[in-house]
Structure 1
Amino acid sequence: MSCSDRRTVLVTGGAGFIGSHLICALAGRFPHWRIINVDNLQYCSNLKNLRSVQASSSYSFIPGDVCDPLFIKHLFSTEHIDVVFHCAAETHVENSFVCPSRFMRVNVDGTAVLVRAALEASVQRFIYISTDEVYGDSVDQPFDELSPKRPTNPYSRSKAAAESIVTSYWLKHKFPAVITRSSNVYGPRQHHEKVIPRFLSLLQQQQKCTIQGSGLQSRHFLYVSDVTDAFLTVMEKGILGEIYNIGTGFEIPIIQLARELVQMVRADSEERLC
């Protein structure tokens, strides 16, 4: 795919954190492409995330639910979509323990609805945005795309199940799918339920960071613009039917992350006082 080729791209969950950054990246790199944002505007979504593109004639927002087969079928039959980035998902691990059925409905059933409609519409490429959490506890050990999936919570189980649906369509119908599994993503406009914005919010309110467990568990963190660049690379160069890990060498224990954020906030406060 080249910049000169006009495409219509659907981004599901485009008003969310990663989805909105992806839309802005697409608009910047491919200004002549049509970009359609479908989002049902749940608590993690905000159209203010898309202020930089909302006036563009090549961008449009369509409110809707990926779990609604009639809506999705109509969308594909009328919009002539070439490329799909399926970002829409329930993602908060703790919430998945409270309401696992919702995670299965949105992440699994919604993916099944979308894949079926995309197959019937003969899309050119379908990129499913997954997570390295499908590897389970192996995220603390070296792993690659051939490592077994061992999800350990309802969220990661729902993502692993959705991956299986996408893969089955590739195997059965040669559906033009690619799967990405990324590390923890952070950056501007992220919802405060995630660890970095949550810690920052607490510190800005002069409260202590609350840490579950010992805090010694390490996590990899990937900046949002790096992951959107990787998504666009997969769109242009990824091999159909393949899985791509999107990782980073930046790994840090949660307790050390909290300490460094405390130092950053203190330094910022001192600089403002000066």
Structure 2
Amino acid sequence: MDFVKTVLVTGGAGFIGSHFVCSLVNRHPDWRIINFDNLDYCSNLRNLESVEENENYTFIRGDICNPRLVNHIFATESIDIVFHFAAQTHVETSFVWPSRYHMVNVEGTRVLLKAAFEAKVEKFIYISTDEVYGESLYKVNETSPRRPNNPYSVSKAAAECLVLSYRERHKFPVIITRSNNVYGPRQYLEKVIPKFVSFLQLNKKCTIQGTSPQSRHFLYVDDAIEAFHTILERGTVGETYNIGTDFEISIIQLARELIKMVRHVPDAELDDWLEFVPDRPVVDLRYPVNCEKLWRLGWKPAVSWAEGIRRTVKWYQENPDFWPDVKPEDQPITFEPDNQ
């Protein structure tokens, strides 16, 4: 079959990447979708079971930091569009191995950019994070300064600079996205919602880091996927787009809601299921973003928090063995967006 376009998705076996790959495969049967992933600890080919037999889907296992392999893919696959999700995203681990985050998030992006530029792809979409803005009391927009506060967000901001340098120097057709926390089915257990749900299923308490009033904006994965399609179809090359929601919840209140949903305990006993643990070295309290720019393209979140969290908890209850041999208590918690 002759395909109209070929799209390369890096990190397509991860949480968000796999949801996006599945949507592309089903929405564009005349496009060839290549999933390029190294199958790191938080990736899982079970995420792609619904499309693995489709004629327009191809999986390539490999590392974006391997220039020989990356150059070979671009030289042989006639790629038109790149969606770059692949990244190291766990904030706490970034304090332990900052060089690893720099290698994957910065050097890997450089290798991919160079190959994509030389192959003259028509669009390169880089998936970043709201964390590059740093903590803010007020909504930030796409022109707000970047003030990253941890090795993970520093590496994402540095990668953004590489992407923008190709735009400025070479007029390369790039787009950058910065999203709030994304949640939903199939997310790895290190992230706050699946970790809390897993703890509660094991009759364990939810662990709350520190005592500061941390809160996050949570965007359901289906809404994030629709945002990426909107940007692909109607986004302007050279622009940056925030992807987010006005819904915000404190981490303690999030834990209490999940305790009620999973354990069905009365309100008076909710805090008995909380356990306070030491904080991480640097903590940002909140990341509110202004998404009016994306709204003008016709996108807005469609899934309410009540519906999204209901779907998410139901999925984890029905799929307790999706991540075999993974113990949630061994996963350091993070409240940050998952871009994989």
Q: Deviations over 1:82-122 (max 9, x none)?
A: 00000000000001001000000000000000000000001
Mapped to 2, the partners of 1:267 and 1:217 lie a distance apart of 24
Shift >6 Å, 4+ stretches: none
- Counterpart residue number, 1:33: 31
Normalized per residue, which structure has more helix? Answer: 1
Which string of whole-angstrom CA distances, capped at 9 and with x for unpartnered residues, describes residues 58-95 of structure 1? 10100110001111000000000000000000000001
Corresponding residue of 2:118: 120
Q: State how 1:35-74 maps to structure 2 within 5 Å.
A: 35-74=33-72
**CA deviation after TM superposition for structure 1 residue 266, in Å:** 2.4
1:79 corresponds in structure 2 to 77
Q: Which residue does 2:134 correspond to in 1?
A: 136
- Aligned identity (percent) is 64
Q: How far apart are residue 27 of structure 1 and its match?
A: 1.4
Unaligned runs of 5+ in 2: 266-316, 318-340
SS at match of 1:107: helix
Q: 1:233 aligns with which of 230, 234, 237?
A: 230
Q: Count residues with an aligned counterpart.
A: 265
Task: Work out whether residues 215 and 255 of structure 1, in 8 Å CA contact, stay in contact via their aligned partners in 2.
Answer: no
Secondary structure of residue in 2 paired with 1:210: strand
Give the unaligned 5+ runs of structure 1: none
Tell me, yes or no, if structure 1 residue 245 matches structure 2 residue 242: yes
Shift of 1:253: 0.4
The one-letter amino acid of 1:226's match is: D
1:223 and 2:220 equivalent? yes
Q: Does structure 1 retain, via aligned residues, the 8 Å contact 2:200–2:263?
A: no
Asked whether the 8 Å contact 1:215–1:254 carries over to 2, the reply is no
1:7 aligns to what? 5
Select 2:176's aligned residue among 158, 176, 179: 179
Which of 164, 167, 187 aligns to 1:167? It is 164
Distance 1:107 1:119 in 2: 18
Greater relative CO, 1 or 2 (CA 8 Å, sep 6+): 2
Contact 1:93 1:154 in 2 (8 A): yes
Tell me the residue number matched to 1:96. 94
User: Which of 138, 147, 154 is the equivalent residue of 2:151?
Assistant: 154
CA distance in structure 1 between the aligned counterparts of 2:235 and 2:37, rounded to whole angstroms:
26
Query: Is 1:191 equivalent to 2:185 in the alignment?
Result: no
